[in-house]
């Protein structure tokens, strides 16, 4: 078989009993095509399969030619961040609700992935964010984000106050429930529900989207992906930062959250004929007659 994908990692959504059957079915299909299978430790333990090679995710990143993620967008977000430094292309099989990133159906999984192994696929390159939190010059936390970096109010429910700087230049002071810094991928997630624009994933842009700002004239702002965004907390009030809803950090007064483009990119592989706008129409129900 002539395919660049000789070693394929299969990664399932954690704590989801429904992932075992399709994952093992896909593993057998790939084996029949002479492809080596890798499982991460959590997936192997969950599906009860031990005859395949089991590795930590970082080791899979070093060895896999392709990773197939069975789950929802949340699972894909987490795996994408982990595999970003290794440039492993990703295919998503949707077992979640929306499936913006996981666009292969379980029902057509074998046929679709078989065609992709034969070279019939579309490559989609997506940007990542690198975020770091400082206080008094000391780095406290750093993380990658695929969707967004968010500074948000805490459990007290009161607004927070912060300054925003863009490339070292003061932009504004804001009192609000927070601020979302979103990639084009993340523009259809939290940023969209907060009134932000949809950015096509081929664009190198960032969206700065206020969350329930006290000033009604505070609107979403689109800037270059090469911009460095800095949020400085004045009244944290129990605020926290979260990244793709996977990583979290409790913020204090004078903390600085610095967000910039990550040098690594994510490569998503879609079935042949993939159309981003068709996906939006389907997922956002734009063409439904009410």
Residues with a known catalytic role: 73
217: left (phi over 0), alpha (psi -120 to 50) or beta: alpha
Give SS3 for 82. Answer: helix
CB atoms closer than 10 angstroms to residue 177: 18
Helix (H) or strand (E) segment spanning residue 114:
helix 109-117
**Whether the Cβ atoms of residue 100 and residue 188 lie closer than 8 Å to each other:** yes
How many angstroms separate the CA atoms of 234 and 255, rounded?
8
Measured from the Cβ of residue 277, the count of other Cβ atoms closer than 10 Å reads 9
Report the DSSP beta bridge partners of residue 149.
181, 243
């Amino acid at each position: 078989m002539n395919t660049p994908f000789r070693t394929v990692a299969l990664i399932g959504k954690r704590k989801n009993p429904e992932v075992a059957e399709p994952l093992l079915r896909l593993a057998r299909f790939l084996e029949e095509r002479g492809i080596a299978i890798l499982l991460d430790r959590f997936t192997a333990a969950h599906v009860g399969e031990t005859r395949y090679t089991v590795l930590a995710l970082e080791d899979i990143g070093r060895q896999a030619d392709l990773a197939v993620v069975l789950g929802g967008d949340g699972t894909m977000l987490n795996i994408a961040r982990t595999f970003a430094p290794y440039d492993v292309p990703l295919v998503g099989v949707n077992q979640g609700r929306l499936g913006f990133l996981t666009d292969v159906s379980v029902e057509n999984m074998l046929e679709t992935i078989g065609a992709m192994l034969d070279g019939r696929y579309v490559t989609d390159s997506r940007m990542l964010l690198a975020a770091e939190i400082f206080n008094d010059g000391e780095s406290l936390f750093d993380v990658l984000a695929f969707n967004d970096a968010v500074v948000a109010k805490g459990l007290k429910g009161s607004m927070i106050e912060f300054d925003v700087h863009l490339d070292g230049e003061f932009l504004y002071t804001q009192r609000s429930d927070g601020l979302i810094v979103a990639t084009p991928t993340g523009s259809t997630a939290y940023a969209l529900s907060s009134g932000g624009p949809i950015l096509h994933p081929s664009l190198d842009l960032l969206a700065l989207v206020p969350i329930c700002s006290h000033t009604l004239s505070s609107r979403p702002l689109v800037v270059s992906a090469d911009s460095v965004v800095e949020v400085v907390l004045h009244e944290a009030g129990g605020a926290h930062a979260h990244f793709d809803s996977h990583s979290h950090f409790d913020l204090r007064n004078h903390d600085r959250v610095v967000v910039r483009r990550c040098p690594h990119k994510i490569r998503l592989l879609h079935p042949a004929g993939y159309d981003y706008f068709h996906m939006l129409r389907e997922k956002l129900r734009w063409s439904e007659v009410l």
